[in-house]
Amino acid sequence: MSAPARAGGDPAAAAATPHAASTARLADFLMALRVESGLSRNTLDAYRRDLRDLLAFGAARGVERLEQFDRDHVYGWLESLRERGLAPASVARKLSAASVWFAHEVSEGRLTRDPTDLVRGPRRSRPLPHSLDVGDVERLLEAPSRDTALPPWRRQRDRALLEVLYAAGARVSEAVGLTTDGIEPGLRVLRLFGKGKKVRLVPCNERARAALETWLADGRTRLAGHRQRSEVFLTKNGAPLDRSTAWRIVRRCALSAGLNGDVSPHTLRHAFATHLIEGGADLRSVQEMLGFNAMATTEIYTHVDGEKLLALHRLYHPRA
């Protein structure tokens, strides 16, 4: 008796073995991705799974070589993915992987056409991250200073950390990676190292400057002692603060402030962007300050811009 197919699996595809030549070309493609694009192991593994799924789908239907795939086969594959219960985001990701592979094969001269060309995948819904209103943020930022059970250095450090996360819209990795030479004299600009080691300069507001000045001049000086540490945020032992500890700090302060929901460092980053747009900032400027490469990433905030425009239209348009 054969083993049952896994949930969400395609029994026909599971029993099919991709053609050796196609499997070899997939291996070459993954090697090119690793060498030329520097993708992570997890990303490469995802590409491998997605594309082997495509090859198995084809093999189960007599399509063994890449040259035999056409647009109808691609649509059939996508439909099989939906029938297997995959979420639209997963289907779109698999189509994207196939598009990259076929485009690579065309550019290398091994294929004359890309069967994924003009194939439209499912529209990926982008759930809006949980945000805080301005009053919520105020309570969160004040929480460390009001927690008298904490030693003074903890109150200074935690307040400065929260202020940086919100004032700069920093990722938690960027905040804990902030170094003393990343702070411009006068504390007007912070130099953050984002994804791919890309550097960006972000303005630092007055409250964040004051919190950082207090922490750097007092608590951090005493914790660092004679150690030659460049990181701004340190533990009680003088070691650099890590991301998991920063997450716990934010969570504890949120609970202390009486905030409900799952508040994390990313919540403050999202609040930073939302409040800027509500205040009149354009999406392109917010994109730059967040360190996003693609404008599409920032478009999750277009609802804010849209609501503001709608309110203005209703207020001022003569026919509203």
Q: What is the CATH number of the domain that holds 21?
A: 1.10.150
Measured CA to CA, the distance from residue 9 to residue 14 in angstroms comes to 7
Residue 320 lies in a domain: no
Domain end: 92, 107, 122, which one?
107
Residue 3 lies in a domain: no
Phi-psi map region of 54: left, alpha, beta (phi>0 left; psi -120 to 50 alpha): alpha
Q: Which of 81-95, 119-133, 134-148, 295-309 comes out lowest in average pLDDT? A: 295-309
How confident is the model at residue 127, as a pLDDT? 52
Mean pLDDT of 85-94: 86
In this structure, the answer to whether residues 152 and 92 fall within a common structural domain is no
Given a contact cutoff of 8 angstroms between Cβ atoms, the answer to whether 72 and 115 are in contact is: no
How confident is the model at residue 129, as a pLDDT? 55
Which residues span the domain enclosing 265?
134-314
In this structure, the answer to whether residues 103 and 147 fall within a common structural domain is no
pTM above 0.85, yes or no: no
In this structure, the answer to whether residues 101 and 165 fall within a common structural domain is no
Tell me how far the alpha carbon of residue 3 is from its chain's centroid: 38
In this structure, the answer to whether residues 222 and 187 fall within a common structural domain is yes
Name the domain count of the chain. 2
Measured CA to CA, the distance from residue 222 to residue 33 in angstroms comes to 47
Measured CA to CA, the distance from residue 206 to residue 189 in angstroms comes to 11
For 154-192, what is each residue's pLDDT tens digit?
Answer: 999 999 999 999 999 999 999 999 999 888 777 788 889
Calculate Rg over the CA atoms of the chain: 25
Given a contact cutoff of 8 angstroms between Cβ atoms, the answer to whether 320 and 314 are in contact is: yes
Given a contact cutoff of 8 angstroms between Cβ atoms, the answer to whether 199 and 184 are in contact is: no
